[in-house]
Amino acid sequence: MHLTSASHSVSTSSPARTAGAASTQPLRLLVLGGTRFLGRAVVEAALAEGHQVTLFNRGRTNPGLFPEVETVIGDRTADLSDLSDLSTPANPGGPTGRHWDAVIDVAGYLPEVVARSVNALRGRVDRYLFISSLSVLADQSTVQDEDGEVLRLCEGTPPHELYGARKAACEQAVLDGFGSQATIIRPGMIVGPHDPTDRFAYWPRRFARGGRVLLPGDPADAAQFIDVRDLADWILRCVRSALGGTFNTTGRPMHFGDFFAGCSTVTRSTAEPVWVSSERLLGAGVDPWMGVPMWIADPACAAINQVDVSRALGAGLTLRPLERTLLDTLA
């Protein structure tokens, strides 16, 4: 085990909190992952709020990103015994059995690995918050809420459904292990600073370059995404308020035309927009699943950008203006 201790101390006891009652005390958080995109945003937000964070990861992505944070290097696919042996920084020779208010699992993809984490942390954390995906939804052709049917992982699961089916099985492992103390977050497309993909950032950069810009589909087509910082803030809100259950967590649906207008405005672009219909793009052999960034023309996914997020919005999810996300992504 390799352990880097931060200057703060961590208590081994955990005060009980009533579901829905927001904690005003610094939380003890264990983050599985924590140095790439969403995990990074969660840790940054947690530190800004004064919470005490422990990271458990392999130390391969952005090592040393948070030198002030206690980091345990380990491989969760093998075992989590290093966490079980962890003693309190304030008393290195003292009792083992560290306790956290919550674990935030941003790096769980395989059900057997998540089940191992659930078993290792049962009794060690008060809440297990798992980052899932809207890809778990079995029907993406019609608007769905959290109660929609999810994909089932089985021997015959087709390759294009494996990611969603595995995430759904991970959800079930967390729910089976933690029950009402489980929180399942289902993001859609996550965007914003430090996004490792080119799905969202392509567009403000393209408008900034000028010239003739191919815009896919129709101005009335739907787009839906969430700023990584809004998602991180919501994750911490769920922990602070002990919110259990499952939440679709992405932005409100908007029109493609409005999104592109925002890109043009923030970049002060002189670009000439050229709309090309989905039919023409498909006829030219363009991949219907983001062959052009953010464009989806697969009929089986007709409602993937119209997911119902009213449950999360009603529980306090807040979303920053599009212009802010575009400007910060460009910066």
Helices 322-330, 202-209: axis angle to 10 degrees equals 80
pLDDT score, position 87 = 56
Q: Which residue has the higher pLDDT, 211 or 23?
A: 211
User: CA nearest 271: which of 183, 206, 176?
Assistant: 206
pLDDT at 24 over 80: no
Average pLDDT of the chain to the nearest whole number? 90
pLDDT score, position 237 = 98
Range from 80-89, 196-205, 220-229 carrying the lowest mean pLDDT: 80-89
Domains of the chain by start residue, with CATH: 2-194+225-252+306-320 (3.40.50.720), 202-221+256-301 (no CATH)
pLDDT score, position 8 = 30
Residue 23 phi, psi dihedral angles, 5° rounding = -80, 140
User: Cβ distance 319 to 254 under 8 Å?
Assistant: no
Structure tokens at 301: 């996914």
Mean pLDDT of 107-114: 97
pLDDT score, position 2 = 38
Q: Is 249 buried (19+), middle (13-18) or exposed (0-12) by CB count in 10 A? A: buried
Band of the pLDDT at 98, cuts 50, 70, 90?
Answer: confident
Band of the pLDDT at 90, cuts 50, 70, 90?
Answer: very low
Band of the pLDDT at 83, cuts 50, 70, 90?
Answer: confident
Q: Which residue has the higher pLDDT, 231 or 23?
A: 231
Band of the pLDDT at 100, cuts 50, 70, 90?
Answer: very high
In order of 224, 279, 307, the CA distances from 303 in angstroms are: 10, 18, 7
pLDDT score, position 202 = 97
pLDDT score, position 328 = 96
pLDDT at 7 over 60: no
Mean pLDDT of 116-143: 96
pLDDT in tens, 230-285: 999 999 999 999 999 999 999 999 999 999 999 999 999 999 999 999 999 999 99
pLDDT score, position 99 = 93
Entry pTM: 0.89
pLDDT score, position 81 = 84
